[in-house]
Amino acid sequence: MIHTPICDLLDIEHPIALGGMGSATSPPLVAAVSRAGGLGALGCHYLTPEQIHERTGGVRRETNKPFGLNFLLFDTREDSLAAALELRPAVMQFAWARPDQNLKDYFDRAHEAGCKVTHMAGAVSEAVRAAEAGADIIIAQGTEGGGHVGWMASMPLIPMVVDAVAPIPVLAAGGFADGRGLAAALSLGADGILLGTRFLASVESPLHPNFKQAIVDSDGHDTQLSDIPDIAAGQVWPGAMTRSRRNSFIERWAGREWALRQNRAEAHARLQAARQSGDIDEGPLSMGQDAGLIHDIPRAEDIVRRIAEEAEEILARKLPALVKH
Ligand SMILES: Cc1cc2nc3c(=O)[nH]c(=O)nc-3n(C[C@H](O)[C@H](O)[C@H](O)COP(=O)(O)O)c2cc1C
């Protein structure tokens, strides 16, 4: 079995975590990942305090294993954050702070509530900022990943972050979907991986079945970075672009963002309706390039087990056999 310092720090069996992905996470998905020995995380930034209590209760009814609550710092409601801290989750998973926000204030509050703190960074400077503010774990997120990402690819970013924040442990994110990814991340100096897209295509994922199938059907070459979904949603992020599936909606507005701003309300309404009805041409689907590695829709428990077993096979047998003494 692969065991890294993150397993002890977080009291988990496998160094495999779920990214808190807003409405793309749900209590059943979070509980399934944690029950399988990984670390589940519930996206909370858009939830009211009441919803946070209700959904955290939903996770706790299904498992007593550790899990995290995820907040986008630039867009965090104080009452929701306070509600989350009251619930004393094992982990507070933060991401996307504005440059003027003081990370230490947030991290100290989480520590006072007895939580471990993770912070996601897409650049070395952001990782160092979080390390200096007292994060327990840095999540180094490469641009291959789904959702909001930065500009650096996982391959150079991960070892650069590992070196910059040592001895603080690092979880690698962005482009990881199988045991080969976990073995590679460990070789780059990370202590584990955090996955988004892979868990979207799981039985427990709350995504519409058409969106899950679109991930399975993707060859990984059909994603693109754009701020079109955010313009439509009327939300400005601190320096992020979204990696999502290239579809009719994205193509219609690419290069015509000014026109999208002009027709924002109508475009947003169409987009919401398409998401509800499972229209993959008109609804935005955030997914990473690793969609090309995803060929089925298994239970989250099986995803965790398969990744752990495949990585162990590579590290314990395949790679050692290549070393000649
Ligand atoms: C649909 C979707 C929504 C996401 N929302 C969030 C979020 O709310 N908070 C966050 O920290 N990360 C979010 N992410 C990023 C993930 O936490 C993770 O870094 C990313 O998915 C890793 O890349 P992968 O998709 O290749 O596994 C999101 C990703 C996706 C695909």
Residue 289 CA: nearest ligand 1 atom is 26
Alpha carbon distance, N-terminus to C-terminus of the chain:
25
pLDDT digit string, tens, across residues 105-156 = 999 999 999 999 999 999 999 999 999 999 999 999 999 999 999 999 999 9
Determine which residue's CA is closest to atom 6 belonging to ligand 1.
Answer: 21
Give the per-residue SS3 of the chain: CCCCHHHHHHCCCCCEEECCCHHHCCHHHHHHHHHCCCEEEEECCCCCHHHHHHHHHHHHHHCCCCEEEEEEHHHCCHHHHHHHHHCCCCEEEEECCCCCCCHHHHHHHHHHCCCEEEEEECCHHHHHHHHHCCCCEEEEECCCCCEEECCCCHHHHHHHHHHHHCCCCEEEECCCCCHHHHHHHHHCCCCEEEECHHHHCCCCCCCCHHHHHHHHHCCCCCEEEECHHHHHHCCCCCCCEEEEECCHHHHHHCCCHHHHHHCHHHHHHHHHHHHHHCCCCCCCCECCHHHHHCCCCCCHHHHHHHHHHHHHHHHHHHCHHHCCC
**175 within ligand 1 shell (Cβ under 6 A):** yes
Pocket test of ligand 1: the residue of 16, 21, 157 to mutate, having most ligand atoms within 8 Å of its CB, is 21
Structure tokens belonging to residue 167: 């001895």
- Write down the pLDDT at residue 288: 98
What's the CA-to-centroid distance between 186 and ligand 1, angstroms?
A: 20
Average of pLDDT values for 80-92? 98
Task: Tokens for 288, please give them.
Answer: 């990473």
Any ligand 1 atom below 6 A from CB of 186: no
pLDDT band at 45; cut points 50, 70, 90: confident
For residue 149, report the distance from its CA to the centre of ligand 1, in Å. Answer: 8
| Per-residue model confidence (pLDDT) at position 238 | 82
Output the CA angle 9-15-19, nearest 5 degrees: 95
Q: With bands split at pLDDT 50, 70 and 90, how would you rate the model's confidence at 239?
A: confident
The pLDDT, as a whole number, for residue 236 is 80
- Could you tell me the pLDDT band of residue 284, with boundaries at 50, 70 and 90? very high
Span 253-283, pLDDT tens digits? 999 999 999 999 999 999 999 999 999 999 9
Pocket test for ligand 1, best of 76, 148, 158, 202 (most atoms within 8 A of CB): 148
Confidence of residue 158 (pLDDT cuts 50, 70, 90): very high
* Residue nearest ligand 1's atom 16 by CA: 19
What does the block give as tokens for 230?
């955010």
CB of 43 closer than 6 angstroms to any ligand 1 atom: yes
pLDDT tens per residue across span 183-216: 999 999 999 999 999 999 999 999 999 999 999 9
Label residue 240 by pLDDT band (50, 70, 90): confident
Q: Is the pTM of this model over 0.75?
A: yes
Rounded mean pLDDT of the chain? 97
Q: Is the pLDDT of residue 235 over 90?
A: no
Instruction: Tell which atom from ligand 1 comes closest to the C-alpha of 95.
Output: 11
Residue 237, pLDDT score: 84
Bridge partner list, 116:
91
In ligand 1, the atom with minimum distance to the C-alpha of 175 is 26
Share of the chain above pLDDT 90, in %: 96
Closest ligand 1 atom, residue 96 Cα: 11
Cβ–ligand 1 distance for 174 under 6 Å, the answer yes
